[in-house]
């Protein structure tokens, strides 16, 4: 359908389902086991309602914010998700160009189907990109990667800690890979990591992609190591409970992304919105020490506004960006950011908030 017919992120997903190969849709959409956590991530937002205030001036309404000091036109960023080329031949750079146009930040996956260099080359000079790190079990290989992306100009490292082994994604495993270079991109060809679609057919796509990652990361060892090899801000991606949020604050990192990997890792992990709420109740000092973000199941501007009210600096979206670039390339990416912006501004105005500073637990 023409892009003008796409009114919501759900509409975009419907188009993506039609244009994607069976394999691609299975890989993008699948989650662990019975996909309960994936569903609950979204459902958690239906349990929170607004206290709308009226008679407040909102003709000027500005939803912009900063994330780790970088401007963002709405409190939304792209959460790094692998293999964009499965959905569109231009892959991740569709997202890069859409983010440049709409001035939001893209976090690039360690398992992108394009190299960190190719993606940075497609970026505007003033554009901010973050890098999502899957830490290789060999510290020297991991250090090389971190130094490479820092030199290329990436502005933060999001260290993913919730995927030391792959979740059991049956819809992905059931759908076999076909040997098509165009589809899987260079990620399987990294010289130190011989991974083939044959591995993916046995272990699932994620199982093959993260086969060489470090399963023995700790607060004591891994954070000082990362600090010693890079000056970039560090965000821990995949915090799933209050206790670990407190440990992250004690470790002195710059941010935490409350996330269960879109329900793709531990089935019955808590929805991030619930964890955010629990941090406010049980350890509110965490919000003074670092920036807190959430991702998983965000579909609407009201979802974004709820998370910001409860203390999130910004929220990430994974699948919606993969779907948008698969369906319409750059224009699809621009479209879903526009939809989110319109929905966020409408919600803010109707609740009497003229800027993100007016959004509070109160
Ligand atoms: C992901 N995610 C992910 N996370 C990460 O740290 N590194 C990665 O390479 C990937 N790859 C990936 C592929 C696909 C197809 C999906 C759907 C997800 C997780 C991602 O960053 C994010 O946490 C979730 O996608 C958020 O949930 P929603 O927005 O997809 O519901």
Task: Report the C-alpha gap between 245 and 179 in whole angstroms.
Answer: 42
Query: In terms of DSSP H, where are the helices of the chain?
Result: 9-19, 22-29, 36-43, 93-102, 116-121, 139-152, 170-174, 181-184, 197-203, 205-209, 219-229, 242-251, 272-282, 286-289, 301-309, 319-350
pLDDT at 336: 98
Average pLDDT over residues 333-360: 98
Best of 17, 211, 260, 262 for a ligand 1 pocket test (most atoms within 8 Å of beta carbon): 262
- Please tell me the residue having the least CA distance from ligand 1 atom 10: 81
pLDDT computed for residue 175 by the predictor: 83
14 pairs with which residues across the strands? none
Over 80: is that where the pLDDT of 186 sits?
no
Q: Is 265 in the pocket of ligand 1 (CB under 6 A)?
A: no
- Is there a catalytic annotation at residue 22? no
Which atom of ligand 1 sits closest to the CA of residue 262? 27
Report the pLDDT value the prediction gives residue 183, as an integer from 0 to 100: 56
In the structure encoding, which two tokens stand for residue 166, read together?
């792959």
- Give the pLDDT confidence score for residue 191 in this predicted structure: 44
- The answer for residues whose C-beta is within 8 angstroms of residue 281's C-beta and 6 or more apart is none
Which residue has 């440990």 as its token pair? 247
Q: Determine the 3-state secondary structure of 362 from DSSP.
A: coil
CB 316 within 8 A of CB 130: no
Q: Give yes or no for residue 297 CB within 6 A of ligand 1.
A: yes
C-alpha–C-alpha distance, residues 216 and 312, integer Å: 29
Q: Is the pLDDT of residue 167 over 70?
A: yes
ipTM of the complex: 0.99
Q: Dump pLDDT digits (tens) for 291-345.
A: 999 999 999 999 999 999 999 999 999 999 999 999 999 999 999 999 999 999 9
At 192 the pLDDT is 53
Pocket test for ligand 1, best of 20, 44, 80, 214 (most atoms within 8 A of CB): 80
Q: What is the pTM (predicted TM-score) of this model?
A: 0.95
The 10s digit of each residue's pLDDT in 23-75 is 889 999 999 999 999 999 999 999 999 999 999 999 999 999 999 999 999 99
What is the model's pLDDT at position 208? 75
User: Cα(323) to centroid of ligand 1, in Å?
Assistant: 12
Catalytic residue among 22, 136, 261, 357: 261
For residue 248, what pLDDT is reported? 98
CB atoms within 10 A of CB 329: 19
Residue 193 predicted with pLDDT over 60: no
Provide the CB-side half-sphere exposure for 229 (13 A, CA): 19
For ligand 1, atom 24: residue with the closest CA: 262
- Indicate the top mutation candidate among 318, 324, 336 to test ligand 1's pocket, ranked by most ligand atoms within 8 A of CB: 318
Predicted pLDDT at 152: 97
Residue range 153-179: mean pLDDT, rounded: 88
Beta bridge partners of 256: 236, 292
The predicted pLDDT at position 156 comes to: 98
133-167 in b/e form (b: 16+ CB < 10 A) is bbbbeeeeebbebbeebbebebbbbbbbbbbbebb
Residue 209 confidence class, pLDDT cut points 50, 70, 90: confident
With a 6 Å cutoff on the Cβ, whether 222 touches ligand 1 is no
Q: Ligand 1 in contact with 132 (CB < 6 A)?
A: yes
Q: What is the pLDDT of residues 88-129, one digit of tens each?
A: 999 999 999 999 999 999 999 999 989 999 999 999 999 999
Q: Cα(149)–Cα(154) distance, rounded to whole angstroms?
A: 6
- What would the mean pLDDT of 191-209 be, rounded to a whole number? 67
133 has a pLDDT exceeding 60:
yes
Confidence of residue 213 (pLDDT cuts 50, 70, 90): confident
- 178 Cα–ligand 1 center, Å: 22
Residue-wise pLDDT for 220-279, tens only, equals 999 999 999 999 999 999 999 999 999 999 999 999 999 999 999 999 999 999 999 999
């Amino acid at each position: 359908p023409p892009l003008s017919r796409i009114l919501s992120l759900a509409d975009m997903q419907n188009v993506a389902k039609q244009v994607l190969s069976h394999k691609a849709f299975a890989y993008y959409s699948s989650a662990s086991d019975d996909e309960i956590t994936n569903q609950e991530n979204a459902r958690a937002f239906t349990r929170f309602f607004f206290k709308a205030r009226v008679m407040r001036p909102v003709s000027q309404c500005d939803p912009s914010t900063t994330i780790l000091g970088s401007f963002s036109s709405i409190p939304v960023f792209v959460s790094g998700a692998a293999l964009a080329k499965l959905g569109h031949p231009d892959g991740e750079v569709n997202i890069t160009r859409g983010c440049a146009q709409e001035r939001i930040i893209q976090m690039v996956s360690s398992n992108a189907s394009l190299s960190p260099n190719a993606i940075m080359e497609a970026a505007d000079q003033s554009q901010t990109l973050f890098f999502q790190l899957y830490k290789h079990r060999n510290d020297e290989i991991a250090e090389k990667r971190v130094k490479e992306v820092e030199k290329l100009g990436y502005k933060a490292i999001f260290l993913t800690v919730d995927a030391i082994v792959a979740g059991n994604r049956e819809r992905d495993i059931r759908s076999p890979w076909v040997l098509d270079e165009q589809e899987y991109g260079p990620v399987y060809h990294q010289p130190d990591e011989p991974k083939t679609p044959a591995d993916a057919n046995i272990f699932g796509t994620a199982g093959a992609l993260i086969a060489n990652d470090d399963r023995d990361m700790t607060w004591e060892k891994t954070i000082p190591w990362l600090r010693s090899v890079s000056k970039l801000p560090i965000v821990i991606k995949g915090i799933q409970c209050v206790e670990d949020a407190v440990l992250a604050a004690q470790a002195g990192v710059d941010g935490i992304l409350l996330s269960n990997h879109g329900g793709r890792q531990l089935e019955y992990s808590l929805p991030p919105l619930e964890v955010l709420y629990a941090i406010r109740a049980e350890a509110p000092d965490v919000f003074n020490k670092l920036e807190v973000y959430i991702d998983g199941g965000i579909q609407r501007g009201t979802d974004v506004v709820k998370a910001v009210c409860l203390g999130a600096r910004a929220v990430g979206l994974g699948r919606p960006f993969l779907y948008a670039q698969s369906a319409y390339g750059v224009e699809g990416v621009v479209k879903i950011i526009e939809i989110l912006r319109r929905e966020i501004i409408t919600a803010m105005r109707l609740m009497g908030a003229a800027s993100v500073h007016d959004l509070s637990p109160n």
